[in-house]
Amino acid sequence: MSVLDRIGQKLLFSFDPETAHGMSIAALRCGLPVGARPVRDDRLKVSLCGLDFPNPLGMAAGYDKNAEVPDALLGLGFGFVEVGTVTPLPQAGNPKPRIFRLTEDDAVINRLGFNNEGHEAAERRLAARKGRGGIVGVNIGANKDSADRVGDYELGVSRFAKYASYLTVNISSPNTPGLRTMQAREQLGELLSRVVGARAAASAKPPIFLKIAPDLVEAELEDIAAEISEKQIDGVIVSNTTLARTGLRSAAVAGEAGGLSGKPLFERSTIVLAKMRKLLGPERVIIGVGGVDSAEAALEKIRAGADLVQLYTGMIYAGPALPGRILTGMVRFADKERLKSLRELRDAGLERWTAKPL
């Protein structure tokens, strides 16, 4: 981290995590921090599902829940940004405090519960930026008290199809009671059928990705892969936060309820990623998320089968210059290995990662 990044982190860490998050959003709205010169290199480009990504590094959902600062995030160097999770109706989420820093582990536990301003507010902001360019995905979810959760996802597709570069169906947050049960095969089949139907009826047809949990067993992964293939879903995002707490050092808050993100998630999420690549084959898109805080971590996700990589928690600990550092590291790696494209690296570690037990 630069001296400026360290000062900024010290300032933000003097506030509770949720207040610090709000301050970072406000800073981006005001044009701060100013991003470094963009890292541009043809070897970083990725073309998938009709989308041309300038580089494979994205900001994961959860940071910009209300689509307030996607362009500012793109300005930090990200090749794409995913906003949300957005639900049809505004909801406050779970009681505070609901975000906890695990500084000894470079991790965070959150139990936010899809707090967001709802479809209308996000749509207004996305409509205002239409035509600006840049790849911006929209992560859609269901309201906690919805009588028809599948219907909420249909509404999300219908409302955001014309604004989203891609749509992510998020059924893997651990903080909305019962949401993860939608990953079970029968419920998942109905959900994906109705989501695909909603896209068919929409004026635009963006790719649809499914975001899954890392806390799945082999049989569950097989069922999910089968439904993704059968329903012709464009890809999968691996993974959301975990309920596991293995090996944590931040004892004071390690027992807090919620989903764990950051460095401790890297191993499990990467194993699940590789196993999904093996199940889905080479053509389906996979976005790797979980514990990405360096160029090497991002490259290892690609070795395990990822086409694209996302981060969020890593930037909390490494600062807003992290995207630029990761991309610079990727370019140096391509130079060292004399790669014509980082795509040459994909699946290079697939057998090694799939051999690891869940």
Per-residue pLDDT of the chain (358 residues; tens, 9 = 90+): 666 667 777 778 889 999 999 999 999 999 887 666 789 999 999 999 999 999 999 999 999 999 999 999 999 999 999 999 999 999 999 999 999 999 999 999 999 999 999 999 999 999 999 889 999 999 999 999 999 999 999 999 999 999 999 999 999 999 999 999 999 999 999 999 999 999 999 999 999 999 999 999 999 999 999 999 999 999 999 999 999 999 999 999 999 999 999 999 999 999 999 999 999 999 999 999 999 999 999 999 999 999 999 999 999 999 999 999 999 999 999 999 999 999 999 999 999 999 999 9
Q: Are strands 107-110 and 99-102 parallel, antiparallel or unpaired?
A: antiparallel
Determine which one of 173, 239, 250, 261 is catalytic: 173
Q: What's the pLDDT at 35? A: 63
Hey, how many other C-beta atoms are within 10 angstroms of the C-beta on 93? Answer: 18
Q: What's the pLDDT at 4? A: 63
Has 193 been annotated as catalytic?
no
167, 237 contact by CB (below 8 A): no
pTM for this predicted structure: 0.96
Four-residue CA torsion sign, 57, 160, 241, 98? positive
Burial of 280 (0-12, 13-18, 19+ CB in 10 A): buried
152, 146 contact by CB (below 8 A): yes
Q: What's the pLDDT at 37? A: 76
Q: What's the pLDDT at 11? A: 78
